[in-house]
Amino acid sequence: MNGPDNDKAFTGSIAAIYEEYLVPLIFEPYAVDLAHRLAASRPLTRVLELAAGTGVATRQLACVLPESVSIVATDLNQAMLDLADAIGTARPVRWRQADIQQLPFRDRQFDAVVCQFGFMFLADKAAAFREAYRVLRPGGVLVFSVWDRIEENEFADVVTTALGAHFPEDPPRFLARTPHGYHDLAEVTRDVRAGGFRGPLEVSTVASRSRAASARVSAVAYCHGTPLRNEIEARAESRLGEATDIAARAIARRFGSGVVDGKIQAHVVTAVR
């Protein structure tokens, strides 16, 4: 019922729930990795972040990079940026609403472009890579992450399977379709090359752990804090609670009734202009 057009809609209360539940569940380890990876890569003056969301990677960049390095953080969804700004960073960051596929910046402005888990949401990924290439200075670096296949990300896989069984005629497939739908490294490489990057690509597959105080917390993170919520409510708004209960029970059956701990895995790609 819902599809790719709604997969970018982090609207309403999703932003706040995303920050409270999903950020600590799956995003924080990769934000730390990305910031330290970038800091070790080369001297920097200006950094552009794409798809910053509620600022989990931005906060790490602001802590790890020298204060002399300016940071511009963008996202398509103003609600996400408003929350990121309200949470704040260790030092000033410029927040700006922007579409990755049509960046409002001049050519060759940045030493680095970073994007944590954003390219998966785009219809024209090659166009987004072309924009990153355009705004990078010669020798500048693009560092981005994409989730590996859903089977390597245990909570997301369990939730998707459970909801698929509950809605067999029209299963909600947001998690498999979009966050975990851009894991093929051959496809990613083709898109990066189509964007203009010609040098060697450095690819690291990074496994980590996803932990939550309970199965319920993990279920709320996915069912309320992502556009999966839009898919569920498209069937009937009243079914969000029901779907969350189903997801929580499925996670508890697999991982236990107390603290839950599951595998997460992503690819981190570095390309030089």
Ordered DSSP codes for 170-235: S---HHHHTTTS---HHHHHHHHHHTT--SPPEEEEEEEEEEESSHHHHHHHHHHSSTHHHHHHHH
Average pLDDT over residues 248-259: 97
State the pairing for strand pair 136-147/260-272. Answer: antiparallel
Closest CA to 220 of 194, 246, 182, 256: 246
Residues 6+ apart with CB under 8 A from 194: 126, 129, 130
Quick one: pLDDT at residue 235?
Answer: 83
Which two structure tokens, joined as six digits, stand for 108?
Answer: 């060759």
The pLDDT tens digits for 66-102 are 999 999 999 999 999 999 999 999 999 999 999 999 9
Give the pLDDT score at 7. 46
Report phi then psi at 222, rounded to 5: -80, -40
At residue 183, φ and ψ (nearest 5 deg) are -105, -15
pLDDT score for 1? 42
Q: How far is 157 from 30, CA to CA, in rounded Å?
A: 19
Least confident among 9-13, 201-205, 255-259: 9-13
Other C-beta atoms closer than 10 Å to the C-beta of 213 total 11
For 134-186, the pLDDT digits (tens) are 999 999 999 999 999 999 999 999 999 999 999 998 899 999 999 999 999 99
Cα separation, 169 vs 177, in Å, equals: 17
Q: Check whether 8 has a pLDDT greater than 60.
A: no
Phi and psi of 93, rounded to 5°?
A: -130, 145
For the chain, the domain total comes to 1
Instruction: For residue 6, give both structure tokens.
Output: 């709604």
Residue 10's pLDDT band, with cuts at 50, 70 and 90, is low
| Domain ranges, residue 187 | 4-272
Spacing of C-alpha 263 from chain mean position: 16
CATH at residue 207: 3.40.50.150
* pLDDT for residue 237: 76
- pLDDT tens, position by position, 110-141: 999 999 999 999 999 999 999 999 999 999 99
Phi, psi of 236 (to 5 degrees): 175, 130
Name the pLDDT band for 104 (thresholds 50, 70, 90): very high
pLDDT tops 90 at residue 11: no
Nearest to 23 by CA among 65, 62, 52, 66: 52
Percent of the chain with pLDDT strictly greater than 70: 96
